[in-house]
Amino acid sequence: MERDSLEVDVLFVGAGPASLAGAMRLRQLINKHNEEAEANGGKKLDEITIAVIEKGREVGSHMISGAVMDIRPLEELLPDFRERGAPLESEVTVEDVSYLTRRFKIRSPIIPPPLDNHGKYVVSLNKLIRWLGPIVEESDVMLIPEFPGAEMLYDGDRVIGVRTGDKGVGKDGEEKDNFAPGADIFAKVTVLGEGSRGSLTKKHVERLKLDEGRNPQVYAAGVKEIWELPKGRVTPGFVMHTLGYPLPNDTFGGGFVYGMQNDLLDIGLVVGLDYQDPFTDPHRLFQQFKQHPAIAKMLEGGKMLYYGAKTIPEGGLFSQPKYYGDGFLIIGDSASFLNSQKLKGIHMAMKSGMLAAEAILEALVADRYDNETLRKFETLVRESFVHKELYEVRNFHQAFRHGRRWGLIESGLQYLTGGFGLLGDLETEAGHEKMKKLHVFNRMPKRSGEVPEPEPVKYDNQITFDKVTDVYRSGTEHDEDQPSHLKILDFNICINRCTQEYGNPCQYFCPAAVYEVEESGGGRKPKINFSNCVHCKTCDISDPYQIIDWVTPEGGGGPNYINL
């Protein structure tokens, strides 16, 4: 079968809020430009094609977030979003910020200003994107789900498009009857909006050294569930954030509980991936969070419906790669446009996409797509609220690296000093470099040859669930007859070094039970249940040897998130 190829003008990779807002804004700007040109006799832009490719089965199926949303960019993009039935759950009605000890919940008498969500909205990003997709499509943007970007196409170092993934490849790499090679999509501008730890973005940033002189990115992993509670118990717009239990003092993060419509409660835990203990398991910590008396009480009589997990780039301003260059722009989480203090990225993603659209319009008008022309994007970002927000919280995550208590003081000072704090501008270390070896935690096995393991946990299937049960609730599916999309560059390291040094932490940090280590015939062997993978990207980030490479599986594979 021959490889398809397609030429478009502008290609967005990943149908998240960043790309969808960007693509739609670009169409609006082109229409406006042409109307003005018509009125003033200026030069109109010829037919411009805009395409968005997405790895999920549908636009929205991989969408997961909190979320409390700052809706300004939505208002700007679609002033009539209410009339069009935007599925916002509720304006924030009740706010609760609490500190959890093992048994108690201490509610903060005031809402600390950075956590104040007055005027913001509780939304399900999943619902919002499933709603927005068709509207964007109607505005004359091609949305192409089930086509993951597998490779960047270059001419020298200039980006000229993306090659999508092959389909119909068997598990040993053989071509099946229905083999269909990936398509080459050529574009004047390729916009990477792949979200956190984008697989193309990662390699592209490496190739062009776009992160030179920047702090390494630090991430957090968010694990969450949607619960259905007895009728009338959930207050839509209820927003609770917690600090403390079950996270150890040296681990960044916290819990959240949001009230949605239709008796649904959104509950989750965010865990910084720059932790030290190799047995840290975000899914397990989340189970402990739900067992806290104050939380368990909320969930009583309810039923867990949906589960999901995803990483969040927390590094902020100083971890941003250079996000423009010859033939490309990087937007949203992929370029670390996220307010890490408020844990809000949706509005930043949307706005960054919309600013990218403005820069692209200028490029189209000038018919120039080089670094100099696309630098305009950076100028626009610097003039917008996006930069202001990033700047104010530029040191937030870093403040937590000496532990929570110190972090709270430092971040409080940062708030007062406009982000500067006591320590000035801070550096970060990449998360996987902070992980400590087992002996640091006195976790070495008593006898040599024994394998260290954390204490087993019991799941009650009422409030707590094991990973496999939870994964079922994420609707995740991959065709089993395909090569694993989790590439382990060197299995020997897993068995010969990692087992003894770190105790194979992949078993713990993966929230979907993808990694197992099997004892077989006296030896240990890693087993990779890739079809469970919820595409959170934790493994690509946290593996201490950096030998796991997450690549896109066959298009359409992955979670089928609903309401998350």
Partner 1 sequence: MKIIVCLKQVPKNDSILRINDQGNWIQDRDLTYEINESDAYGLEAALQLKEKQGGEVIALSLGPARVQSVIKEALARGADRGIHLEDPAFDKLDAYGIAAVISAAAKAEGFDLLLTGLQSDDYGFAQTGVIAAELLGLPHATIVMDVQPGDGSLRVKRELENGYFQWVSMPAPAVLTIQSGINTLRYATLKGIMGAKKKEIKKLDVTALGIDKAALAPRMEFLRVYVPQKSKQTQFIEGSPAEIAASLMEKLRNEARVF
Residues that bind partner 1 (CB under 8 A): 4, 6, 58, 61, 144, 146-147, 164, 167-168, 176-178, 180, 183, 185, 228, 262, 305-306, 472-473, 475, 477, 555, 560, 562-563
Which lies closer to ligand SF4 via its Cβ, residue 68 or residue 471? 471
| Residue 477 binding result from ligand FAD, partner 1, ligand SF4, none, given CB thresholds of 5 to 8 Å by partner type | partner 1
Task: Give yes or no for residue 393 binding ligand FAD (CB under 6 A).
Answer: no
| Residue 510 binding result from ligand FAD, partner 1, ligand SF4, none, given CB thresholds of 5 to 8 Å by partner type | ligand SF4
Q: How far is the CB of 45 from ligand FAD (least distance, A)?
A: 25
Q: CB atoms < 10 A from the CB of 98, how many?
A: 18
**How far is Cα 465 from Cα 444, in angstroms, rounded to an integer?**
28
Task: Give yes or no for residue 73 binding ligand FAD (CB under 6 A).
Answer: no
Instruction: Kindly write out the interface string for residues 196-235 of this chain, putting x where it contacts ligand FAD by CB under 6 A and - elsewhere.
Output: x-xxx---------------------x-x-----------
Task: Give yes or no for residue 125 binding ligand FAD (CB under 6 A).
Answer: yes
Q: CB atoms < 10 A from the CB of 174, how many?
A: 11
Which lies closer to ligand SF4 via its Cβ, residue 241 or residue 537? 537
Question: Residue 171: which residues within 8 A CB-CB, separation 6 or more?
Answer: 480, 481, 482, 483, 484
| Residue 560 binding result from ligand FAD, ligand SF4, partner 1, none, given CB thresholds of 5 to 8 Å by partner type | partner 1
Q: CB atoms < 10 A from the CB of 42, how many?
A: 11
Please choose, from the candidates 561, 487, 536, the residue with its C-alpha nearest in 3D space to the C-alpha of residue 195.
536
Q: How far is the CB of 199 from ligand SF4 (least distance, A)?
A: 10
Q: How far is the CB of 456 from ligand FAD (least distance, A)?
A: 27
Angle at Cα 498 formed by Cα 497 and Cα 499, nearest 5°? 95
**How far is Cα 141 from Cα 23, in angstroms, rounded to an integer?**
7
Residue 456 exposed, middle or buried by CB count within 10 Å (0-12, 13-18, 19+): exposed
**How far is Cα 385 from Cα 215, in angstroms, rounded to an integer?**
22
| Residue 538 binding result from ligand FAD, partner 1, ligand SF4, none, given CB thresholds of 5 to 8 Å by partner type | ligand SF4
Task: Give yes or no for residue 338 binding ligand FAD (CB under 6 A).
Answer: yes
In the region spanning residues 491 to 550, those forming contacts with ligand SF4, defined by CB under 6 A, are 510-512, 514, 533-539, 550
| Residue 58 binding result from ligand SF4, ligand FAD, partner 1, none, given CB thresholds of 5 to 8 Å by partner type | partner 1
**How far is Cα 231 from Cα 301, in angstroms, rounded to an integer?**
10
Residue 46 exposed, middle or buried by CB count within 10 Å (0-12, 13-18, 19+): exposed
Q: How far is the CB of 210 from partner 1 (least distance, A)?
A: 28
| Side chain identity, residue 233 | R
Asked if 561 contacts 477 with a C-beta cutoff of 8 angstroms, the reply is no
Residue 433 exposed, middle or buried by CB count within 10 Å (0-12, 13-18, 19+): exposed
Q: How far is the CB of 541 from ligand SF4 (least distance, A)?
A: 8
| Residue 17 binding result from partner 1, ligand FAD, ligand SF4, none, given CB thresholds of 5 to 8 Å by partner type | ligand FAD
Q: How far is the CB of 231 from partner 1 (least distance, A)?
A: 10
Q: What are phi and psi of 131, to 5 degrees?
A: -80, -40
| Residue 356 binding result from ligand SF4, partner 1, ligand FAD, none, given CB thresholds of 5 to 8 Å by partner type | none
Q: CB atoms < 10 A from the CB of 353, how many?
A: 29
Task: Give yes or no for residue 435 binding ligand SF4 (CB under 6 A).
Answer: no
Integer-rounded Cα radius of gyration of the chain: 23
- What does the chain come to in residues? 564
Residue 211 exposed, middle or buried by CB count within 10 Å (0-12, 13-18, 19+): middle
Instruction: Kindly write out the interface string for residues 20-59 of this chain, putting x where it contacts ligand FAD by CB under 6 A and - elsewhere.
Output: ---------------------------------xxxx---
Asked if 387 contacts 369 with a C-beta cutoff of 8 angstroms, the reply is no
Which lies closer to ligand SF4 via its Cβ, residue 148 or residue 421? 148
Instruction: Kindly write out the interface string for residues 466-495 of this chain, putting x where it contacts ligand SF4 by CB under 6 A and - elsewhere.
Output: --------------------x---------
Binding residues for ligand FAD, how many (CB under 6 A)?
A: 45
The one segment of 169-177, 206-214, 338-346, 379-387 that binds ligand FAD by CB under 6 A: 338-346
Dihedral sign from CA coordinates of 458, 306, 265, 126: positive
| Block residue for tokens 């690549």 | 551
Name the E strands within 229-357.
238-244, 253-259, 264-272, 303-313, 324-325, 328-330
Instruction: Kindly write out the interface string for residues 263-302 of this chain, putting x where it contacts ligand FAD by CB under 6 A and - elsewhere.
Output: -----x----------------------------------
**How far is Cα 314 from Cα 397, in angstroms, rounded to an integer?**
7
Which lies closer to ligand SF4 via its Cβ, residue 192 or residue 534? 534
**How far is Cα 60 from Cα 128, in angstroms, rounded to an integer?**
8
Q: What are phi and psi of 318, to 5 degrees?
A: -75, -10
Residues of this chain that interact with ligand FAD (CB under 6 A) are 13-19, 53-56, 62-69, 125, 148-149, 193-196, 198-200, 222, 224, 268, 310, 312, 332-334, 338, 343-347, 349, 552
Residues of this chain that interact with ligand SF4 (CB under 6 A) are 486, 510-512, 514, 533-539, 550
